[in-house]
Amino acid sequence: MASISGICSSSPTLKPRLRPAAALTTASLLRKDSVSFPTARPRPGDRSLFAQSVAREIKAELAKADGDGALIKDEKKKVLEKDPRALWRRYVDWLYQHKELGLYLDVSRVGFTDEFVAEMEPRFQAAFKAMEELEKGAIANPDEGRMVGHYWLRDPKRAPKPVLTVQIENTLEALLKFSGDVVSGKIKPPASPEGRFTQVLSVGIGGSALGPQFVAEALAPDVPPLKIRFIDNTDPAGIDHQIAQLGEELASTLVIVISKSGGTPETRNGLLEVQKAFREAGLNFAKQGVAITQENSLLDNTARIEGWLARFPMFDWVGGRTSEMSAVGLLPAALQGIDIKEMLAGGKLMDEANRTTVVKNNPAALLALCWYWATDGLGSKDMVVLPYKDSLLLFSRYLQQLVMESIGKEFDLDGNRVNQGLTVYGNKGSTDQHAYIQQLRDGVHNFFVTFIEVLRDRPPGHDWELEPGVTCGDYLFGMLQGTRSALYSNDRESITVSVEEVTPRSVGALIALYERAVGIYASLVNINAYHQPGVEAGKKAAGEVLALQKRVLSVLNEASCKEPVEPLTLDEVADRCHAPEDIEMIYKIIAHMAANDRALIAEGSCGSPRSVKVFLGECNVEALY
């Protein structure tokens, strides 16, 4: 085999090795064919949705009326208010406070006008009506013909059918009992009947990982009853690292496998890798495995047949990116000792606040209003999320999926091509003082900022002064306020969301706040926030690449089983695969195989593709017949 330094370089020998037939078996229990992707339905027509959009207030001489009477904004921006007294009045007038949650929303540093708010009022009333119908069980995801019910998870009585209420309540009761029995040691790992589970390994991707990761980072105690690790990708090195970190504790690790369909390739691959590790350690995976999936899915049936330790349902009407308050997020949180009832209570209280139809009193609507103003309702600027608290580091990653997968759509609900979106990125303060704040303050003006502030620095009685009158937390506070002021002085707009403390209740409220803001904003711009055709297109394309790889392997195997071995050029491989149009992808497949010692380069190098002749390092006789 080629050494690392010789990857994609000529191999000195053409003699193939014969692989025994027994080595040909593959784990295919959870295998799933690629998902077909229905072509989106573009319909001709102007982007009428945006013909009525309201521009910012500008001087009369810079504006003109279009055919519909809407203002057309000149390239010159309206100058933001800078007078301190006027800004204080604006701050007081627009400050939102939720006393019970200890949550504040400051939108005073976004420059929307009273006229803009008035012009947007009809759209907001339509959005509120749409959200009301959604919560009553309307088909809010028309492309997939599904209800959207993540709000029912924290208030089951609002579910439109009694059977759904019972399903939600029973699931919560079951996972609370199960997690309690695991934490107390009543449910024990089979390899250690006198011991207890010490680790959780969560296998899932996208919404099945980002929410649980965010909550674990934000809320897990310093010494949790079970520590948690995540396999959230199909990167072999990453998987190996997580398993290696468990070491001997693999025997006391509870493995949670999360996949709505049960056929998500990355999750399936992670499961198979973990099962292999269990076999090699002489452990019975089924006695330590938990499935969270739709009833009767491929994963559910596998877990039932193999007798896994437990199974919990995912519901058809809950999407992955809004599943944190389902079993997906609640079970991992409960196993870490996080009070999930408080998370649900915080979400419920925020939902109640977001049902008011007065924009000024509705925090989610205020966020949507600011997003629309800052981005012209077209995603023209990015949203930079800066939580000034280490424990909220992953909030920006969580919001990245929630917002971008929901808002990033090619077509609106009327079939017009609109290419909507709202880009989200961020890290944490004050780390960003030494990273990209320089560009935010002085560079290209293509963003607005969302600051996340936590008012309490440490638990009561634990603070101390670094110098007279100044604590460590005071420096963090100063950095946030200073950055906000510095950005605004250069016409950079910002929103500030403040919570008193990072608690299960406040985290539940933040999740609910942004879930609702996304739904309202989607209504304002007339798109379906609850499907993800672009993701499905990527999955389909990945499936096609793997199918082509199988054809390449078949062709190379046939040539490698000849005496003497027949090295093939890329053109020859493409012709024998009947895919000359895919020669670039065939080259990439062969280069990847060569880098992993699964193909040998007989002549040439991958740096000069036309020179390459390739064969396999072994002959699979059984595959010939």
Place of tokens 């506070």: 477
**Confidence at residue 536, expressed as pLDDT on a 0 to 100 scale:** 85
pLDDT for residue 35 = 35
CA atoms within 13 A on the CB side of 26: 4
pLDDT at 11: 55
* Phi and psi torsions of 187, nearest 5°: -95, 120
Mean pLDDT of 3-25: 50
Cα distance between residue 553 and residue 577, in whole Å: 10
Mean pLDDT over 488-515 rounds to 98
Note the pLDDT of residue 15.
56
Closest CA to 55 of 366, 372, 293, 304: 372
How many CA atoms within 13 Å lie on the side-chain side of 612?
27
Q: Is the pLDDT of residue 208 over 50?
A: yes
Residue 53: the pLDDT is 35
Least trusted range by pLDDT, from 19-33, 205-219, 274-288, 382-396: 19-33
Strand segments (E) across 457-543: 465-467, 470-471, 494-499
- Write the single-letter amino acid at 262: G
At 203, list the tokens: 């296998």
What's the chain's Rg over C-alpha atoms?
28
Phi/psi of residue 253, nearest 5 degrees: -105, 130
Which whole number is the average pLDDT over 55-77?
37
Beta strand extents in 333-485 (DSSP E only): 382-387, 424-426, 447-454, 465-467, 470-471
- pLDDT recorded at residue 504: 98
- Joined tokens for residue 294: 């739709």
Judged by phi (left if over 0) then psi (alpha if -120 to 50, else beta), residue 293 lies in: beta
Q: From the CB of residue 23, how many other CB atoms can be counted at a distance below 10 Å?
A: 10
Tell me the pTM. Answer: 0.87
Q: Give residue 1's identity as a one-letter amino acid code.
A: M
329: pLDDT strictly greater than 50: yes
pLDDT of 41 over the 80 cut: no
Per-residue pLDDT averaged across 515-519, rounded?
Answer: 98
Q: What percent of the chain has pLDDT over 90?
A: 82
Dihedral angle computed from the Cα positions of residues 258, 262, 264 and 267, in that order, rounded to the nearest 10 degrees: 40
Name, in order, each residue with C-beta under 8 angstroms of 290's C-beta and a sequence gap of 6 or more. 254, 255, 256, 257, 308, 309, 310, 311, 312, 331
Report the pLDDT averaged over residues 528-549: 93
pLDDT at 558 over 90: yes
Mean pLDDT on 386-398: 98
With contact defined as beta carbons under 8 Å apart, do 548 and 576 qualify?
Answer: no
pLDDT bracket for residue 600 (50, 70, 90):
very high
Q: What is the mean pLDDT of the chain?
A: 89
Lowest mean pLDDT among 21-35, 423-437, 471-485: 21-35
Indicate if the pLDDT at residue 27 is higher than 50: no
What's the DSSP call for residue 463? -
Instruction: Give residue 77's pLDDT.
Output: 47
| pLDDT over 70 at 123, yes or no | yes
Mean pLDDT on 431-442: 90
Q: What is the pLDDT of residue 149?
A: 98
Kindly list the catalytic residues: 405, 434, 539
540 token code pair: 């389909």
Residue 51: is its pLDDT beyond 80?
no
Is the predicted pLDDT of residue 118 greater than 80, yes or no? yes
Q: What is the pLDDT of residues 139-187, one digit of tens each?
A: 999 999 999 999 999 999 999 999 999 999 999 999 999 999 999 999 9
Using the predicted structure, report yes or no on whether residue 31 has a pLDDT greater than 50: no
Return the sign of the alpha-carbon dihedral for residues 468, 473, 477, 480. Answer: positive
Residue 534 has pLDDT above 90, yes or no: yes
How far from 331 is each of 180, 311, 504, 506, 600, CA to CA, in Å?
10, 11, 14, 19, 47
One-letter amino acid of 582: D
Of 290, 325, 301, give the one whose Cα is nearest residue 504. Answer: 325
Distance CA(332)–CA(230), nearest Å, equals 11
In angstroms, the CA 55 to CA 61 distance is 15
Using alpha carbons only, what angle is made at residue 97 by residues 94 and 101, rounded to the nearest 5 degrees? 160
Name the DSSP class of 74. Answer: P
Residue 56, pLDDT score: 36
